[in-house]
């Protein structure tokens, strides 16, 4: 039986611009990545001191999730164990790995070492939102919407999850891109059908 799921929200951060549901909400074209991440944090007017301790990959994914989940109330709509995350990228945690490598010749930094795994970004989002559902982080050369769709559809269609945040979060130096989707079983007004084609359309729009 064909089961439909829906993209009920999406967020992209790329090219010094933040999009929510394909609408531009912030832009700061002259900022470096580090400056731009702090700029987004300040624009969101949230208070989360741990943000400043994160590596850039975690900051980027965490900020994208903050924008994605604004006004979505998924914590009220679903049990914590039924909300999961599936994220992919192509550079793993290399951006932070290189920074950690630079500390080895002197005194290795535990605070930098803790971010030498790409799935730490999922942990940061789960800690912030108290999500306890299934989680996975994949490495891919490029964003593979069909693969991502198959993974998330399995989790939703087999009752493992009721809602899933999925997408792409990647950083290396000043190159970065994040696109996250909120996928739910229920259809709401203006939601897109959860298909690889719609994921690719949203992903490719933010460049």
Per-residue pLDDT of the chain (207 residues; tens, 9 = 90+): 668 999 999 999 999 999 999 999 999 999 999 999 999 999 999 999 999 999 999 999 999 999 999 999 899 999 999 999 999 999 998 888 888 787 877 777 777 777 778 889 999 999 999 999 999 999 999 999 999 999 999 999 999 999 999 999 999 999 999 999 999 998 788 899 999 999 999 999 877
**pTM reported for the whole predicted model:** 0.94
Measured CA to CA, the distance from residue 1 to residue 174 in angstroms comes to 45
Chain-centroid distance, C-alpha 5: 19
């Amino acid at each position: 039986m064909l089961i439909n799921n829906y993209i009920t929200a999406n967020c992209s951060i790329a090219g010094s611009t933040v999009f929510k549901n394909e609408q531009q909400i912030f832009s700061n074209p002259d900022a470096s990545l580090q400056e731009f991440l702090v700029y987004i944090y300040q624009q969101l007017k949230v208070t989360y001191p741990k943000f400043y301790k994160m590596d850039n990959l975690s900051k980027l994914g965490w900020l994208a999730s903050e924008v994605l989940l604004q006004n979505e109330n998924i914590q009220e709509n679903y049990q914590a164990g039924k909300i999961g995350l599936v994220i992919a990228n192509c550079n793993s945690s290399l951006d932070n790995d290189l920074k950690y490598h630079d500390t080895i010749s002197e005194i290795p930094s535990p605070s930098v070492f803790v971010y030498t795994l790409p799935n730490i970004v999922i942990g940061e989002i789960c800690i912030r939102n108290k999500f306890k559902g299934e989680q996975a982080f994949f490495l891919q050369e490029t964003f593979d919407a069909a693969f991502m769709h198959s993974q998330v559809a399995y989790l939703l269609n087999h009752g493992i999850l009721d809602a899933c945040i999925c997408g792409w979060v990647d950083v290396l130096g000043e190159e970065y891109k994040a696109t996250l989707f909120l996928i739910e079983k229920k259809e709401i007004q203006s939601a897109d059908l959860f298909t690889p084609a719609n994921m690719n359309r949203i992903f490719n729009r933010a460049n």
